[in-house]
């Protein structure tokens, strides 16, 4: 046991003097313990909001931010209790913010299935979905592909909103011919 304590004392002293290797060794040695504390302190309703690693990083940030104060531990167990307390406090502060506050209160959240948008079309998008646009565009090109020039002109003018009478006048064709071409294309697609 005395050997472990002198090893711990040496490690802490090296961290206090700024040794990166000692800091990494400290992180490797105690991160598992911190994660267990965080997972034990984190309520179920908050587990979907946070990753335990977030609290682990916040705990180490606090520890290394005040590394000069790390020399006050007589035993490794005291340091373990200290970092466990820091981790638990980080979790408790965030739980208070997310449960008691108004701005980020998880109790105010509602699932999309319960939202009025599911039942109220006023909250739904009015236009077609991107996949519907893509399918329509593909069908449009398929419709035009391989058609004679005057058929393409009829289709494009009709698509632009021209009436059958306007198309017939513009292309110098009979209205019945325009209707027949449009019917033929409608049946084909």
> Average pLDDT in the 46-68 region?
84
Is the pLDDT reported for residue 93 higher than 80? yes
Q: Work out the number of other CB atoms within 10 angstroms of the CB of residue 19.
A: 14
Q: Kindly give the interhelix angle for 149-159 and 175-188, rounded to the nearest 10 degrees.
A: 90
Is residue 71's pLDDT more than 60? yes
Q: pLDDT-based confidence at 24, cuts 50/70/90?
A: very high
Domains in the chain with CATH codes: 2-106 (1.10.1740.10), 130-188 (1.10.10.10)
What b/e string do you get for 121-138 counting C-beta neighbours within 10 Å, with b at 16 or more? eeeeeeeeeeeeeeeeee
pLDDT value at residue 176: 92
Per-residue pLDDT of 99-140, as tens digits, reads: 777 776 666 666 666 665 555 555 566 778 888 888 888 887
pTM of the model: 0.52
């Amino acid at each position: 046991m005395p050997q472990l304590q002198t090893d711990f004392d040496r490690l802490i002293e090296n961290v206090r003097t700024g040794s990166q290797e000692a800091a990494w060794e400290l992180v490797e040695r105690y991160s598992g313990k911190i994660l267990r504390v965080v997972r034990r302190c984190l309520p179920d309703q908050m587990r979907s909001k946070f990753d335990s690693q977030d609290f682990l990083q916040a705990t180490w940030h606090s520890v290394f931010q005040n590394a000069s104060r790390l020399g006050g531990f007589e035993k490794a167990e005291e340091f373990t209790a200290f970092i466990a307390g820091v981790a638990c406090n980080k979790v408790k502060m965030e739980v208070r913010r997310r449960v008691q506050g108004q701005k980020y209160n998880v109790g105010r959240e509602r699932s999309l299935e319960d939202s009025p948008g599911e039942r109220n079309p006023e909250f739904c998008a009015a236009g077609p979905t991107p996949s519907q646009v893509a399918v329509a565009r593909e069908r449009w090109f398929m419709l035009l592909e391989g058609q004679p020039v005057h058929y393409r002109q009829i289709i494009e003018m009709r698509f632009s909103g021209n009436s059958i009478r306007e198309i017939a006048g513009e292309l110098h064709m009979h209205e019945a011919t325009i209707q027949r071409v449009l019917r033929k294309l409608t049946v084909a697609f």
